[in-house]
């Protein structure tokens, strides 16, 4: 991975952690989330330089595995980086955010509904209403299918909010090159685009096989 780029605190991770590809057993899904979460955690710490992360997640075993692995990759023995986790029973429970109250320590990982809706585009509306200034990190299973653009198309407030942010990030899987790529991205005029590649994470053979079979 490339050098630290010195970004401020804050992260929003949107992950379809509960979706199961038929080609993988539950145990293989847990191992896949272990590889993926650890890599994302290291990227948050070493590339994005986030000092604090707050994760909102559902209560499935797959999402729990992803969050735990993220913590393993992100947290340091010296306790210089902090991570908090809030478990939600349903996406609708994503709370409204208010910058007048105690600031969120950094970031949010919210599982989007399986069928995106205008009423609750994965917590992005709450962030837009609060004017949340922190970085937003989109999981590959949200970014690659174009779900972020869809959320912007469905809600003008979300579209305006995302269009004004320069600290949006996403990952994509390049299976031909056997790497996961970390990008600075943009969402403008209802379209997603990559702005700049920030680094790559090499796929080992086991991780590549699981990822290839899950997509």
Of residues 137, 127, 116, the one with CA closest to residue 185: 137
Worst-scoring range by mean pLDDT, 97-106, 124-133, 194-203? Answer: 97-106
Domain definitions of the chain by residue range: 12-214
Of residues 45, 51, 66, the one with CA closest to residue 199: 45
For residue range 5-26, list pLDDT tens digits in order. 333 344 445 443 344 445 899 9
Helix (H/G/I), strand (E/B), else coil: 198: strand
User: Comparing 137 with 77, which gets the higher pLDDT?
Assistant: 77
Of residues 127, 34, 85, 104, the one with CA closest to residue 138: 127
Does the predicted TM-score (pTM) go above 0.75? yes
User: Which letter, b or e, does each residue of 17-38 get, where b requires 16 or more Cβ atoms within 10 Å of its Cβ?
Assistant: bbeeeeebeeebbbbbbbbbbb
Pairwise CA distance, residues 67 & 109, whole Å: 9
For residue range 48-99, list pLDDT tens digits in order. 888 888 777 778 888 889 999 999 999 999 999 999 887 877 655 555 554 4
What token pair was written down for 69?
């692995």
Position 183 pLDDT exceeds 90: yes
Antiparallel, parallel or unpaired: β 191-202 and 179-188: antiparallel
Q: What is the CATH number of domain 12-214?
A: 3.40.50.2300
3-state secondary structure 171-187: EEEECCCCEEEEEEEEE
């Amino acid at each position: 991975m490339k050098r630290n780029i010195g970004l401020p605190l804050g992260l929003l991770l949107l992950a379809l952690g509960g979706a199961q590809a038929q080609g993988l057993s539950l145990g293989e899904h847990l191992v896949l989330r272990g590889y993926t979460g650890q890599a994302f955690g290291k990227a948050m710490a070493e590339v994005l330089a986030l000092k604090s992360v707050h994760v909102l997640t559902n209560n499935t075993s797959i999402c729990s595995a992803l969050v735990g692995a993220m913590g393993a990759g992100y947290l340091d023995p010296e306790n210089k980086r902090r991570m908090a986790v809030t478990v939600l029973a349903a996406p609708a429970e994503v709370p409204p955010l208010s910058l007048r109250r105690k600031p969120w320590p950094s970031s949010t990982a919210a599982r989007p509904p399986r069928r995106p809706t205008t009423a609750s585009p994965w917590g992005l509306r709450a962030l837009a209403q609060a004017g949340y200034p922190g970085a937003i990190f989109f999981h590959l299973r949200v970014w690659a299918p174009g779900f972020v653009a869809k959320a912007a198309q469905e809600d003008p407030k979300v579209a305006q909010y995302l269009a004004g942010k320069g600290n949006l990030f996403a990952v994509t899987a390049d299976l031909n090159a056997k790497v996961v790529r970390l990008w600075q991205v943009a969402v403008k005029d209802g379209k997603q685009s990559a702005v700049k590649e920030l680094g790559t994470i090499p796929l080992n053979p086991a991780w590549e096989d699981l990822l290839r079979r899950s997509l």
